[in-house]
Amino acid sequence: MLGSGWLGRLALGCLAALAASVPALAQDKAVPPLVFTGIPDQDESRLVERFGKVAAYLEARLGVPVRYIPVKSYPAAVTAFTNGQVQLAWFGGFTGVQARKAVPGSQAIAQGAEDAAFKTYFIANAATGLKPGKDFPKDIAGKTFTFGARASTSGRLMPEYFIRQAFPGRSPDQVFPRVGFSGDHTRTIQLVQSGAFAVGAVDYAVWDLETKAGKVDRHAVTVIWESPAFPDYQWTVRGEVERTYGAGFTDKLRNALTGITDPAILEPFGRSKFVPVTNAAYAPLLEVGRSTGLLD
């Protein structure tokens, strides 16, 4: 028996507080975390820095648990999105097209301000004697060449498209005696800088980030060509987030991403800000994917 007086009132107050907290705890347990990933386009340490800050920011803005999970490859990012392991992903242009094609109802919701007009750099080892120029460098024919990841937009899809345009009727394997796939843009720079490959195709933003970090020896490797612009990276979300987190959640997520102003979050992306985008912006990549045979 609780009795009367201050001891009874204290006990009753504690019971009331506990009872009031039960629905809140149950509600918290009922809300699953928003899980996201990103294509591994750079070395792992840079990815952990980049996405860890995004997870903390989104959790504070959205009011739901947010968790980042790393993946080992570009196809693994698409697979994680396709099978529902993640609800949100930072994709390259081409992997985004692949993911949305596989998951009807998914939407591209935000891209970097720079992603509307992205570029590939063709880089060359100094020993090749290749010099920078405005026209496509046809002198790369006959030299060893490395792409980035096989599903990379700026490291594979668009470079292959430009190569096929420059050498009609010839595939990269017919233009170069040896073709490689580095796996990520950081590795592409390292391979060309070391001379393991004479020429390579790299994401211009990663080149700029690595240069600022002092990881590029400009005496050993240089940019010889800057490609025409194309759409690239974006945040893509699955459609069922509306059912899981409530109506309007997609807009709330878009607003959170486009509301990022902290340079500590933006700089690891090499972006000045994120802006709204829709699936339609990536229609040109569908055509390029089909024309190169890289997309069914």
Q: CB of 166 within 8 A of CB of 114? A: no
Domain 119-226: CATH class, spelled out: alpha beta
What CATH number does domain 29-116+231-292 carry, 3.40.190.10, 3.40.50.740, 3.30.1330.20, 3.40.50.12780?
3.40.190.10
Express each pLDDT in 209-268 by its tens digit: 999 999 999 999 999 999 999 999 999 999 999 999 999 999 999 999 999 999 999 999
Residue type, 168: P
Answer whether residue 2 shows pLDDT above 50: no
Return the pLDDT at 4: 47
d(CA 103, CA 84): 9
Strand ordering across the sheet containing 120-125? 179-181, 145-147, 199-203, 120-125, 221-226
- How many CB atoms are closer than 10 A to CB 247? 9
Express each pLDDT in 24-51 by its tens digit: 433 445 789 999 999 998 888 888 889 9
Residue type, 28: D
Q: Tell me the percentage of the chain whose pLDDT exceeds 90.
A: 84
**Coil, helix or strand at residue 86:** coil
Residue of 112, 86, 111 lying closest to 99 (CA atoms): 86
**Confidence band (pLDDT; 50, 70, 90) for 296?**
confident
d(CA 176, CA 171): 9
**Confidence band (pLDDT; 50, 70, 90) for 14?**
very low
Q: CB of 220 within 8 A of CB of 128? A: no
Provide the phi-psi class of 104: left if phi over 0, else alpha when psi is between -120 and 50, else beta: beta
Express each pLDDT in 239-254 by its tens digit: 999 999 999 999 999 9
In the chain, how many H helices and how many E strands? Answer: 12, 11
Q: Which residues does 263 contact at the CB level (< 8 Å), separation at least 6?
A: none
**Coil, helix or strand at residue 65:** coil
Span(s) in the chain for CATH 3.40.190.10 = 29-116+231-292, 119-226
Express each pLDDT in 62-99 by its tens digit: 999 999 999 999 999 999 999 999 999 999 999 999 99
Between 13 and 166, the more confident residue is 166
Return the pLDDT at 5: 52
What is the rounded average pLDDT for all residues in the chain? 91
Provide the phi-psi class of 220: left if phi over 0, else alpha when psi is between -120 and 50, else beta: alpha
